[in-house]
């Protein structure tokens, strides 16, 4: 599996984690609580989320590295929609 990670500074980490997980729970078998979540997009791609008072940490795991950039973009796009009231700094690292 290929991993990439992003730590997003925000005071609303738990809210965004829950919004993302609830949104994706309509299509995927999502597990989450206010501080952590897991979204299995497929057998070959999943994201785990963790929230604290200052950051939202997301770790993307993909089997095929060619999926990585596309999945990062999907996650970023959804997060930005929920966080439209603030400018988030989203920088993935491998």
Question: What is this structure's pTM?
Answer: 0.94
Query: What percentage of residues in the chain have a pLDDT greater than 90?
Result: 97
What is the reported pLDDT for 5?
98
What is the reported pLDDT for 90?
95
Q: What would the pLDDT profile of 44-89 be if each residue is shown by its tens digit?
A: 999 999 999 999 999 999 999 999 999 999 999 999 999 999 999 9
3-state SS assignment for residue 90: coil
Show the tokens assigned to 80.
């930005």
Contact assessment for residue 78 and residue 28, using Cβ atoms and an 8 Å cutoff? no
């Amino acid at each position: 599996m290929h991993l990439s990670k992003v730590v997003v500074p925000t005071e609303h980490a738990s809210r965004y984690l829950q919004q993302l997980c609830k949104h994706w729970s309509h299509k995927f078998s999502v597990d989450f609580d206010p501080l952590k979540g897991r979204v299995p997009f497929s057998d070959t791609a999943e994201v785990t989320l963790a929230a604290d008072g200052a950051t939202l940490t997301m770790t993307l795991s993909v089997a095929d590295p060619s999926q990585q950039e596309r999945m990062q973009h999907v996650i970023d796009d959804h997060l930005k929609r929920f966080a439209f009231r603030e400018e988030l700094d989203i920088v993935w690292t491998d």
